[in-house]
């Protein structure tokens, strides 16, 4: 049974009731097939859905349509329930979440296959709603409206409760950075269930004048099409993986105010290429499920990250403690940082990235950069295996490289790194087991090692 989460005293009164959405009722909240959906229409759908939800404490929000996810997210909160946002939407993860949180049900806009237990399907789009809404609903600042789960890339996913007040505070920083007073139209390639996707494509439309495109385009041509379906000014929310695919296949995109990226390190050269090709700014944001976004940089010209106001970093031997007035308490991240003047910092890696084998040292981050820099390697990752009976931790790697053998890649690495850090095994795979945000859960990496045998030596 999950622990009952309780917030510490917020820096403002819990009696404050932040509005569910900003702006007037006629402003555009979303775009579907070129049709604008007003805030008034949105609120009518939210109130109608809130009255139909099952009697429960938690809802696993599985909606794929981004606008319907937004409607469900707000209806769940207004009904006094909490959105559960698991790290993936695989049947096993959904089943495990529903089992771990007994007072819960799954909510979806289309029936998953297989369908989970305790499934509630949203009413069809054709249902009429009452558009006579005249006032904006409010939520108490200390209400836990969502629980996000870490991706599991470094172990088991962990639950992180989020209050409405903390979301409002972090969203104010994001809005100031990304849009100011501009009514941007957002196209996002990342799922709304992921904290980065939630912040930029769900909370941002609620807490600023932005509007969202209802889809979640994946392939480069679909991304370009989605951008063409919304008017300028446009904001593309994506990942380095999607950005690299766009640069390989799409010579031009509709005019972009900016591209925002996160979930994996962005190479400065890749950022510069995207800025030049698409005549825009590429902004990388830094955060976590635990903290939400806390810093940003324009990667093409800056190695250093700029902290958001009110965020404080405290380097520790095992990571970095992050504090902010809207946090429930200090949060320890695994990231190692070097503090600079003017509230900037440089990311030096993650706790656990530092490797020591046979008295020699290297970092996983550097090994991964060298792997990806080999001509012909389209994608790849170096990672550690569990320690053997002698306590020695070996390295392994997966690579996507249609024109190379694993021997070619190892020989290229041998010219750059000490032999003790050569990954063995190194497997060639058709694709890395990335989840919908581009991350690589550790369990999936281990399983992928068995996909294909290495080339005999």
| DSSP SS3 for 449 | coil
The confidence band for 278, taking pLDDT boundaries of 50, 70 and 90, is very high
Specify whether 44 is located in the same domain as 107. yes
User: Taking residues 287-292, what's their average pLDDT?
Assistant: 94
Q: Which residue's entry shows tokens 């390190």?
A: 265
Q: Looking at the domain assignment, is residue 252 inside a domain?
A: yes
What is the rounded distance in angstroms from the CA atom of residue 65 to the CA atom of residue 432? 26
Specify whether 135 is located in the same domain as 242. yes
For 195-238, the pLDDT digits (tens) are 999 999 999 999 999 999 999 999 999 999 999 999 999 999 99
Specify whether 244 is located in the same domain as 137. yes
Q: Looking at the domain assignment, is residue 219 inside a domain?
A: yes
Lowest mean pLDDT among 13-22, 164-173, 413-422: 13-22
What is the rounded distance in angstroms from the CA atom of residue 369 to the CA atom of residue 363? 10
Specify whether 103 is located in the same domain as 206. yes
pLDDT for 365: 79
Helix or strand run (H / E) with residue 76 = helix 66-78
For 5-29, the pLDDT digits (tens) are 333 343 434 344 688 998 889 999 9
Q: Residue 412: give the domain boundaries.
A: 354-448
User: Taking residues 320-342, what's their average pLDDT?
Assistant: 93
Q: Comparing 387 with 415, which gets the higher pLDDT?
A: 415
Q: Looking at the domain assignment, is residue 265 inside a domain?
A: yes
On the question of pLDDT at 127 being above 70, the answer is: no
- Give the CATH number of the domain where residue 197 resides: 3.40.50.12780
This model's pTM is above 0.85: no
The confidence band for 154, taking pLDDT boundaries of 50, 70 and 90, is low
Among 262, 285, 302, residue at a domain's last position: 302
Specify whether 246 is located in the same domain as 365. no
Specify whether 134 is located in the same domain as 239. yes
Among 286, 302, 318, residue at a domain's last position: 302
- Give the CATH number of the domain where residue 370 resides: 3.30.300.30
Among 302, 321, 340, residue at a domain's last position: 302
The confidence band for 4, taking pLDDT boundaries of 50, 70 and 90, is very low
Q: Looking at the domain assignment, is residue 453 inside a domain?
A: no
Structure token pair of residue 450: 């068995």
**Beta carbons within 8 Å of 59's beta carbon, 6+ residues apart:** 53, 72, 76, 81, 82, 83, 84, 104, 105, 106, 107, 120
Specify whether 43 is located in the same domain as 175. yes
Number of domains into which the chain is organized: 2
Specify whether 286 is located in the same domain as 411. no
On the question of pLDDT at 153 being above 60, the answer is: no
Q: Looking at the domain assignment, is residue 230 inside a domain?
A: yes
What is the rounded distance in angstroms from the CA atom of residue 239 to the CA atom of residue 223? 12
pLDDT for 388: 63
Q: Looking at the domain assignment, is residue 404 inside a domain?
A: yes
The angle that helices 39-50 and 66-78 make with each other, rounded to 10 degrees, is 60
Backbone angles phi, psi at 368, to 5 degrees: -65, -40
Structure token pair of residue 171: 């969203």
- The mean predicted confidence, pLDDT, of the chain is 87
């Amino acid at each position: 049974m999950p622990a009952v989460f309780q917030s510490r005293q917020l820096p403002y009164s819990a009696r404050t009731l932040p509005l569910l959405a900003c702006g007037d009722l006629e402003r555009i909240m979303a775009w579907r097939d070129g049709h604008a959906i007003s805030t008034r229409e949105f609120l009518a759908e939210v109130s109608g859905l809130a009255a139909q939800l099952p009697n429960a404490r938690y809802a696993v929000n599985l909606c794929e349509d981004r606008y319907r996810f937004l409607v469900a997210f707000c209806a769940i909160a207004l009904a006094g329930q909490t959105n559960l946002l698991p790290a993936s939407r695989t049947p096993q993860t959904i089943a495990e979440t529903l089992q771990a949180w007994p007072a819960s049900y799954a909510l979806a806009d289309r029936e998953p296959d297989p369908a989970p237990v305790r499934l509630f399907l949203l009413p069809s789009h054709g249902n009429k709603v009452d558009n006579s809404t005249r006032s904006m609903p409010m939520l108490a600042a200390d209400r836990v409206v969502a629980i996000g789960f870490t991706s599991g890339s470094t172990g088991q996913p962990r639950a992180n409760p989020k209050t409405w007040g903390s979301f409002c505070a972090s969203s104010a920083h994001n809005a100031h950075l990304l849009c100011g007073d501009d009514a941007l139209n957002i196209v996002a390639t990342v799922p709304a269930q992921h904290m980065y996707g939630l912040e930029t494509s769900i909370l941002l439309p609620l807490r600023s004048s932005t509007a969202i495109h209802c889809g979640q385009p994946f392939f480069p041509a679909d991304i370009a099409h989605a951008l063409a379906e919304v008017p300028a000014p446009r904001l593309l929310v994506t990942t380095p993986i999607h950005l690299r695919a766009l640069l390989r296949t799409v010579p031009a995109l509709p005019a972009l105010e900016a591209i925002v990226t996160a979930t994996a390190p962005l190479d400065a050269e890749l950022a510069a290429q995207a800025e030049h090709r698409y005549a825009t700014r590429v902004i990388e944001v830094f955060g976590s499920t635990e903290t939400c976004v806390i810093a940003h940089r324009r990667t093409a010209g800056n190695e250093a990250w700029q902290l958001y106001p009110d965020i404080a970093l405290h380097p520790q031997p095992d990571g970095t403690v992050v504090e902010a007035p809207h946090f429930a308490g200090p949060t320890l991240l695994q990231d190692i940082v070097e503090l600079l003047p003017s509230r900037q910092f440089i990311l030096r890696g993650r706790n656990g990235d530092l490797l020591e084998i046979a008295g020699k040292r290297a970092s996983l981050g550097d090994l991964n950069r060298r792997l990806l820099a080999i001509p012909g390697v389209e994608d790849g990752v170096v990672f550690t295996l569990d320690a053997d009976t002698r306590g020695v931790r070996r390295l392994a790697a997966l690579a996507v490289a249609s024109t190379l053998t694993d021997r070619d890649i190892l020989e290229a690495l041998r010219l750059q790194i000490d032999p003790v850090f050569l990954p063995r095994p190194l497997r060639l795979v058709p694709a890395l087991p990335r989840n919908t945000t581009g991350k690589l859960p550790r369990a999936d990496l281990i399983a992928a090692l068995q996909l294909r045998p290495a080339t005999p030596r």
